[in-house]
Amino acid sequence: MRRRALITGITGQDGSYLAEFLLEQGYEVVGMLRRSSTVNFERIAHIQDRLRLVTGDLLDEVSMINVLRENRPTEVYNLAAQSFVQTSWSQPVLTGETTALGVTRMLDAIRVVDPEIRFYQASSSEMFGKVQEVPQRETTPFYPRSPYGVAKVYGHWITVNYRESYGLHASSGISFNHESVPPATPVVVRRDGCVDIVPIGEAARSSAEPLEVWDGDGWTPVTARSTYWHEGESVSLRARGAAIECTPEHVVILASGERPAEAVRAGDRLRLSPRPEPALVGPEGLARARGGGGDAGRRGPLEGAEAPGQVFSVERRPYRGWMCDLETESGRFAAGVGLVVVHNSPRRGLEFVTRKISHGVARIVAGLDRHLALGNLEAQRDWGYAADYVRAMWLMLQQDQPSDYVMATGRTHSVRDFCELAFGHVGLEWRDHVIVDERYIRPAEVDVLVGDPSRAEAILGWRREVGLPELVAMMVDADLRLVRGEEAVRG
Ligand code: NAP
Ligand code: F7E
């Protein structure tokens, strides 16, 4: 029988990553949304057709009982929350209702409908607050410093309590801060030292073996693979020495900058990638390039020809079929001999400091802003990569016994460090641009957080794969593309 998971908070950063991950594992994924007058599917638009979306609200237990009765999940991941710490001072009661009591409502709905359901609670490092021990582990006492932290402590203990009172398989993941960047789609790959051009669907299918992809400048490891159903339009770009078909939003690198495919016009010039050195070429070699590579894949770049990469036709067509993405460490891929970049928008909310910085850097580079106003630059956080963390959530529910685990990198950095890395990535000096604004200073601060993930590593076999410098570079690059794309669309 296919396993079925319910995710609350599916429109959020972690919910979207978890949904992708569970779909890849063969789950039926049910996403619980709260009713709103406008849709908020930015992070799940690419997988929306593969999800069952149902309405329910953490403030309303009846709605959750109905969702469970009608959808009969075997696993519930409770990611929904009022998750922004600063807002918890201006909306403390709502934060308590959602982030604290919402957990009881869901646990109680499970107890009533089907106590065999396995439950995951998104606990937070904010529970440690004024830290009593360094690094923080599962046994470190809590000392929350915000209404959000207090609410999370409640959510954590009610999860433990329902486990002990009713024998529910209920686990908590105590997550330290984690951030995100979008996936990318390559077609030129290297496996076991063998260079090949394969249809992206083939690369996306073989998930067990390590894979590298050519990103136009070098080889980069593939960190995640996904295939999704796309109904709508595609854009077909044909150029001298290059051809690509992709969704209209996919960002294409031109000789003059970057632009969504839908904004490319005849006469623009695609940037053509130098070919990787094919030390060994696979049995079908370049002739297998299709779609992404087109004719260009068979002939190679027309070196010396007039205006290589010049677009001579742009066609929009109805499209109903699969699209594939590969996520890479550098955040780019090369398709055939033309270099084509595919990105979605980064998924971390713009109000959180990391994304605020990466987006701020991109706006400064684009000349849209000169300064970035931040609060406490000395606060230290243990920042990891969101896609790494959703794997741990799933692993917790696959254990025979429910338990609580810290998910962290074991390293800590200040907001100032993050600024230095992010501005440094584009050759800017952060001190020239960052200003401190009292509005962003919190009534009570969490000065330093650093987690000890050794229990999760030992019992779950979990390892995080992305470190801070790579994460910062990926986030800034993603926002540079996003901001340039927005500018190009605006004209
Ligand atoms: P996020 O992006 O802020 O997403 C929060 C989700 O909760 C959204 O989908 C939101 O829906 C939904 N939601 C809010 N109130 C709701 C309600 N009353 N009923 C139903 N849904 C509601 O958060 P995230 O970064 O993905 O974090 C996921 C979870 O992990 C949260 O519980 C957070 O507190 C916890 N956590 C996160 C981190 C981190 O670094 N990201 C670290 C530790 C713990 P709308 O789209 O409708 O607003
Ligand atoms: O702040 C400082 C701020 O809002 C990080 C949530 O996912 O992780 C997140 O909570 C630090 C704080 O995240 C600005 O004072 C300086 O010390 O990005 P943040 P957070 O509060 O750590 C935990 C684990 C969660 O559970 C939460 O759901 O950065 N800071 N200047 C700033 N923070 C913001 N937002 N904006 C600033 O301008």
User: Which one of 17, 148, 162, 405 is the catalytic residue?
Assistant: 148
Q: Is the CB of 180 under 6 A from ligand 2?
A: no
Considering just the CA atoms, what is the radius of gyration of the chain in Å?
Answer: 23
Strand-pairing partners, residue 367, are none
Is the pLDDT higher at 161 or at 187?
Answer: 161
State how far the Cα of 212 lies from the Cα of 195, in Å rounded to an integer. Answer: 9
Is the pLDDT higher at 9 or at 259?
Answer: 9
Q: Is the CB of 44 under 6 A from ligand 1?
A: no
Torsion sign across C-alpha atoms 407, 412, 418, 424: negative
Task: Identify whether 124 is a catalytic site residue.
Answer: yes
- Note the pLDDT tens digit of each residue in 332-360: 666 644 333 333 335 777 889 999 999 99
**Is it the case that residue 47 has pLDDT exceeding 60?**
yes
Which contiguous run of DSSP H or E holds residue 212? Answer: strand 212-214
Q: Which of 239, 236, 251 is nearest to 325 (CA)?
A: 251
- Note the pLDDT tens digit of each residue in 240-285: 777 777 777 666 777 665 666 777 888 887 766 666 665 444 433 3
pLDDT at 418: 97
Collapse the DSSP code of 489 into the 3-class scheme (helix H, G, I; strand E, B; otherwise coil) and give the result: helix
Collapse the DSSP code of 238 into the 3-class scheme (helix H, G, I; strand E, B; otherwise coil) and give the result: strand
Which ligand 2 atom is the nearest neighbour of the CA of 81?
28
User: Which amino acid is located at 406 in the chain?
Assistant: V
Q: How confident is the model at residue 304 (pLDDT cuts 50, 70, 90)?
A: very low
Say if residues 251 and 240 touch (Cβ distance below 8 Å). Answer: no
- If you average pLDDT over residues 74-81, what whole number do you get? 98
Strand-pairing partners, residue 381, are 413
Task: Identify whether 148 is a catalytic site residue.
Answer: yes
State how far the Cα of 187 lies from the Cα of 195, in Å rounded to an integer. Answer: 11
Which ligand 1 atom is the nearest neighbour of the CA of 102?
18
Which ligand 1 atom is the nearest neighbour of the CA of 97?
18
Task: Identify whether 126 is a catalytic site residue.
Answer: yes
Structure tokens at 158: 């009610």
Q: Ligand 2 pocket check: which of 103, 353, 356 to mutate, most ligand atoms within 8 Å of Cβ?
A: 353
Ligand lying closest to the C-alpha of residue 126: 2
Q: How confident is the model at residue 36 (pLDDT cuts 50, 70, 90)?
A: confident
- Per-position DSSP letters for 400-436, written without gaps between them: SS--EEEE--S--EEHHHHHHHHHHHTT--GGGTEEE
pLDDT at 281: 45
Ligand lying closest to the C-alpha of residue 449: 2
State how far the Cα of 148 lies from the Cα of 245, in Å rounded to an integer. Answer: 45
User: Which amino acid is located at 347 in the chain?
Assistant: R
Is the pLDDT higher at 438 or at 313?
Answer: 438
Pairing of strands 188-191, 212-214: antiparallel
- If you average pLDDT over residues 127-131, what whole number do you get? 97
Q: For 352-382, what is the HEC assignment?
A: CHHHHHHHHHHHHHCCCCCCEEECCCCCEEC
Strand-pairing partners, residue 173, are 122, 405
Q: Which of 186, 255, 257 is nearest to 215 (CA)?
A: 186
- If you average pLDDT over residues 470-491, what whole number do you get? 76
- If you average pLDDT over residues 365-390, what whole number do you get? 94
Say if residues 179 and 475 touch (Cβ distance below 8 Å). Answer: yes
pLDDT at 290: 28
pLDDT at 2: 80
pLDDT at 255: 63
Structure tokens at 12: 């959020």
User: Which one of 83, 123, 124, 125 is the catalytic residue?
Assistant: 124
Which ligand 1 atom is the nearest neighbour of the CA of 11?
9
Pairing of strands 194-197, 188-191: antiparallel
pLDDT at 330: 61
Q: Is the CB of 87 under 6 A from ligand 2?
A: no
Is the pLDDT higher at 338 or at 212?
Answer: 212
Q: Which of 139, 144, 180 is nearest to 454 (CA)?
A: 139
Is the pLDDT higher at 239 or at 225?
Answer: 239
**Is it the case that residue 227 has pLDDT exceeding 50?**
yes
Mean pLDDT of the chain: 82
Q: Ligand 2 pocket check: which of 121, 381, 389, 437 to mutate, most ligand atoms within 8 Å of Cβ?
A: 381
What is the CA(78)–ligand 1 centre distance, in A? 9
pLDDT at 299: 34
pLDDT at 188: 75
Is the pLDDT higher at 288 or at 379?
Answer: 379
User: Which one of 126, 179, 245, 329 is the catalytic residue?
Assistant: 126
Q: How confident is the model at residue 41 (pLDDT cuts 50, 70, 90)?
A: confident
Structure tokens at 133: 């021990």
- Note the pLDDT tens digit of each residue in 401-421: 999 999 999 999 999 999 999
pLDDT at 128: 97
Q: Is the CB of 15 under 6 A from ligand 1?
A: yes
